[in-house]
Structure 1
C-alpha cells in the first residue's frame, strides 16, 4: 500500500456534522446543500459534510458543454439520464450507482484555506483512500481529480460562494464503467476506472462512505463528528449521535 500523507494543520472548527445519506434525488441534494451553505454562512464556526450516492444522471459544471455528452436528448431520455446544469467548477460528469459523492460545506476563511488549496486537499483525501485499498493514485495533471494507472478514479468539482464551499469529490467505487464512454468527464478523453477494478481487496460502498467521512475529518482537523442518517428537511429532528473522532 502507498503511505498516507499526514493531515495538514488548519485553524478549524472543532465539530463536523456528517450526513451519511442514501441516494437522495438530485433536487433534494441541491436543496440540502443550499440549506447547509446558508447555515454555515451564518455561523462560520460550523461545518457540514454530505456523503451520498447519486441516482443515474449527468451534471454539467461551469466549464462544461453539451458537446461532452455524446447521446442526443432523445437517447438521454430513453436511457433515463437527466441532465443538470450546476454551479460547480469543471465540466460534464456522469453519476451512477457505485459512486460515492462527498460534498463538504466548509467556510474556507475559518479554515484559513484558499479555494485551490481546498481542491488539493480533496485530491489528497482521494489518494489516501485509494492507498488504503492498495491502489497507487496521483493527482490528475490536467483536471481536478485523481488517476490510477492512467485512468480517472475520482473527480473534484467545487463551488465557492462567499468563501463557503459546496459540491466536492466523487469517487468511483464499483460502478459499471461502460456508460462512461458516453460522457467525456470534463471534456477529457481519459478513460475511467474504479477502486473495484484496481484493487485486489474487497471494496464495498458502505465501507468507503464511512472511511471518507473519517479521512476528511482527519485531514481538515475536526476532532468531533456528529453523524446524521436522515435528510434534515424530511425529518425536523433527526436522530444523531456524537462520537469523538477516531474512536
Structure 2
C-alpha cells in the first residue's frame, strides 16, 4: 500500500484483547492529550475487541430509530460515540481499530486522512482473500454479501481520531439501512481474529514504513481502571 502523507516519527500500537467501550474511550482521550502535548510527530493506534454492546452515533439518525420500540430501547443503553448516527452492534468476532493522529503534521485534510485509512482497511480485506470489498463514502466497506466494516472520524484541535469496526467472523449490525455481513461470510470460510490482527499489524508496518513503531500488549491505564472498579 502506497502512502501519500507525512508519516509520524513514532507510533505506539496497542494490540490488546477484550476492552470495554468506556476504557477504549478513556484511552482515546489519553492518546489525544499525549499526541497534542509533544512537538514530535507521533501517533497511536489501538486494536481490540469489545464485549457484546451497542453504540450510538451522535450525528443525525434516521427517524425509524425513534419509531421502532426495540431500537428506542437499545438507544437508551447504547454508548454514545462521535461518529455517523445510528445504532451499531459490537461483540466477540468483531475487531475495533482506534487511531489518533496529528492532522496538521500529516499535512492532509480530514477527508484525505479518512480515505487513506479506508485504503488500509480495504487492503486488509484483500489480504484475507476478500478482494471484492470496496469502500463507499458514507456507507463503509461493502462486499458481495453486505457491509463488512464501517468507520467514524472526528477532527478537532489539530487532531483526527477514528474508530473502525470490522466484522471478522460474526455479523453485527453496522447500519440500519444495509445488510451487514462479515469477512467469513465474504470468503465463505472462517476467518480467525488472530490472523486478521497479524495482517493488520503487517499492513500498518508497510503503510508507515518510515515510522518507528512500538507494539504493546497491555496499557497501564486499563489496570488502573480495573482496580478502581473492583469491590472494596
TM class by shorter chain equals 0.7 to 0.9
Give, in whole Å, the separation in 1 of the partners of 2:2 and 2:189. 25
Distance 1:72 1:117, change over 3 A: closer
Given that 2:100 and 2:159 are in contact with CA atoms closer than 8 Å, whether structure 1 keeps it comes out as: yes
Select the structure that is richer in helix: 2
Given that 1:134 and 1:200 are in contact with CA atoms closer than 8 Å, whether structure 2 keeps it comes out as: no
Structure 1 stretches of at least 4 aligned residues deviating more than 3 Å after TM superposition: 64-70, 220-223
Paired residues for 1:61-76 under 5 Å: 61-65=57-61, 67-68=64-65, 70=68, 71-72=70-71, 76=74
Q: Which residue among 78, 96, 119 is the counterpart of 1:124? A: 119
Task: Let me know the Cα RMSD of the aligned residues.
Answer: 2.5
Give, in whole Å, the separation in 1 of the partners of 2:153 and 2:65. 19
The answer to whether residue 75 in structure 2 is matched with residue 87 in structure 1 is no
Given that 2:95 and 2:168 are in contact with CA atoms closer than 8 Å, whether structure 1 keeps it comes out as: yes
- Give the match for residue 52 of structure 2: 56
Paired residues for 1:1-247 under 5 Å: 6-43=1-38, 45-65=41-61, 67-68=64-65, 70=68, 71-72=70-71, 76=74, 82-135=77-130, 136-141=132-137, 143-149=138-144, 151-175=146-170, 177=171, 180=173, 185=175, 187=176, 189-200=177-188, 202-234=190-222
Give, in whole Å, the separation in 2 of the partners of 1:128 and 1:224. 21
Q: TM-score, normalised by structure 1?
A: 0.79
Give, in whole Å, the separation in 2 of the partners of 1:24 and 1:211. 20
Give, in whole Å, the separation in 2 of the partners of 1:20 and 1:42. 23
Q: TM-score, normalised by structure 2?
A: 0.83
Deviation, 1:48, is 0.5
Given that 1:89 and 1:159 are in contact with CA atoms closer than 8 Å, whether structure 2 keeps it comes out as: no
Given that 2:82 and 2:154 are in contact with CA atoms closer than 8 Å, whether structure 1 keeps it comes out as: yes
Given that 1:52 and 1:102 are in contact with CA atoms closer than 8 Å, whether structure 2 keeps it comes out as: yes
Give, in whole Å, the separation in 1 of the partners of 2:188 and 2:61. 36
Aligned length: 219
Give, in whole Å, the separation in 2 of the partners of 1:222 and 1:211. 19
SS in structure 1 of the partner of residue 118 of structure 2: helix
Give, in whole Å, the separation in 2 of the partners of 1:61 and 1:221. 33
Give, in whole Å, the separation in 2 of the partners of 1:100 and 1:82. 21
Distance 1:13 1:72, change over 3 A: closer
Distance 1:162 1:17, change over 3 A: same
Distance 1:206 1:222, change over 3 A: farther
